[in-house]
A = this chain, B = another copy of it.
Amino acid sequence: MNNIKKDNTEEKILDAAQTVFIRKGMDGARMQEIANEAGINKALLHYYFRSKQKLFEAIFKQVFKQIFPDIKAFIHAEIPIEKKLGIFVEKYIDLLMKNPYLPSFILQEIHRDPEFLASVIKGQGIDLHELFTMLGKEMEAGNIRKMDPRELMINILGLSIFPFAAKPLMQLIFFDNDKKAYKEFLKQRKETVKDFILNSILLKA
């Protein structure tokens, strides 16, 4: 009963709005284009969602949840730290390969309306305390190099996200605009990013 794709109007609008907003951003998106994408009329958008702003906020919240993968599940898993980090990187890059336009959309909107971003984050109750203490323990135990855990997290995110956020530019200057080659490169990064990080932080016995 769960996998049956709803094809009621509200669902169609949400799907269409997500597509258009991610591609064009809040400023660039047009209600007409969203209506076309949904195969309905412009007025219906305002019937279901009061305004462009409200529709956008619904989409942003929905999309934003996706960039916080389910990390709690494996923070306390009984596996070595290098496995944990490896799984995180793989899951994250997998997510980005399925939604390659997500990073640039988020990066754009967090600058456009930081106050709204703050309200969304508050509403999500994101808690990174557990993550940091877990990393701290691994450093104390001498398993990984001692460093600011926030630095480590931002490095992991940067290495994973940047090639997607900057795709058109990187593809152009480093891969001669060869789409296939760049896609292959991104796929391989599930391994190379993992190696790059572990080579840097793992303390060789």
Contacts and interface: CB of A to CB of B under 8 A. Distances in A.
A49 interface: no
A61 to B, nearest CB: 14
A108 B110 contact: no
Interface string A154-166: 1101110111011
Contact of A173 (B128, B174, B200): B128
A121 interface: yes
Contacts of A28: 27, 112
A126 B155 CA distance: 27
B104 A108 contact: yes
Contacts of A201: 199
A107 B104 contact: yes
Interface string A172-186: 111101000000010
A111 interface: yes
Q: State the main secondary structure of chain A at its contact with B.
A: helix
Contacts of A169: 106, 110, 117
Contact of A200 (B174, B189, B199): B199
A118 interface: yes
Contacts of A155: 159, 193, 196
Interface in A130-176: 145, 147-148, 150-151, 153-155, 157-159, 161-163, 165-170, 172-175
Interface of A: 24-25, 27-28, 101, 104, 106-108, 110-112, 114, 117-118, 121, 126, 128, 145, 147-148, 150-151, 153-155, 157-159, 161-163, 165-170, 172-175, 177, 185, 189, 192-193, 196-197, 199-201
